[in-house]
Amino acid sequence: MASPVTGRLTDRERLLRVLSQRGARGGRIEAHRAMLRLPNAGRRLSASLLLGVAGLAGFVALLPTLGAFWGTLFRRIHAALGLPGPVVERPTAFGPVEFTVPTVAFDAPVPMPRDLAIAAGVVAGLIVISLALRGRWLPAAYFLRAVAVVLTTAVGFFAFWPDQFPYRLSEYVVGHLQAGLVVMGLVPLVLGFTFYLFDLSVLRKILLTAMVLGHLAIFLPLQAMFHALVVSQLTLVAMPVLALLFGILLDVMVFVAFYGWAMSWPSALWEEVPRP
């Protein structure tokens, strides 16, 4: 605080101001790039939204090609895993664009009392392990408890209403892929309101979009086939855990990971910020 008499800063106050801008290792704490004021805000927003809409239009136009690619990938993985039944193509439409989404043609078994007892033992093991984790492993402990909670609800449901589970494996796979397509379609729009606004070249913005969509285009069918394999081996009691904790949530985390990495890319405006 300045002296009430002179209005000038004392040596102590100047020192405190300098120290407040220093990090734990003595370096200067610069303003994050997200806090920088970007020039031409209106024009930048318009260009970002236009690029986002163009990305969505391109994605929609490629849906038939993506569906055919997924079908080919499904058939190869299906044969390699030795799963029963054929791969089925389900007709799907996004507005005027029609395409197919692959799925499996077999049903997963309903858990028997022995399966539920094993699942209950897994729940107990997860809780014990989570209670033993401390310090830097505490986030893992919370995740294990989340898995235990979801699995407990699944065990309870199949213990009382084993014949009333509303989801079949084939429908689950289709629903997972369709939800993944929604995530993919939202990628360019979300980037249009966020990443595209920053002072980066158009090429870098297109590159990030292509990397996220390309990764998800391969990851989603592999994820769906992995879920089908696990549920076919561990019965339907495993489906809620896969759907809630290892499904679309994991796909969104893929987008977040790519976005966080891309935010470290240098830009002309960021390079103009003075360094100590």
The 10 Å CB-count burial string (b at 16+, else e) for 220-235 is: bbebbbebbbbbbebb
- Strand-pairing partners, residue 168, are none
Question: Alpha helix (H) ranges present in the chain?
Answer: 11-20, 41-61, 63-81, 113-132, 138-160, 169-193, 202-234, 239-245, 248-262, 268-271
Write down the domain spans for the chain: 41-110+165-270
Model pLDDT, residue 35: 56
| Single-letter amino acid, residue 46 | S
Model pLDDT, residue 153: 96
The model carries a pTM of 0.82
Number of Cβ within a 10 Å radius of residue 203: 8
Model pLDDT, residue 90: 95
pLDDT less than 70: residues of the chain:
1-9, 23-41, 267-276
Model pLDDT, residue 274: 45
Model pLDDT, residue 34: 56
Of 50, 103, 96, whose CA–CA distance to 73 is shortest?
103
pLDDT in tens, 174-213: 999 999 999 999 999 999 999 998 888 899 999 999 999 9
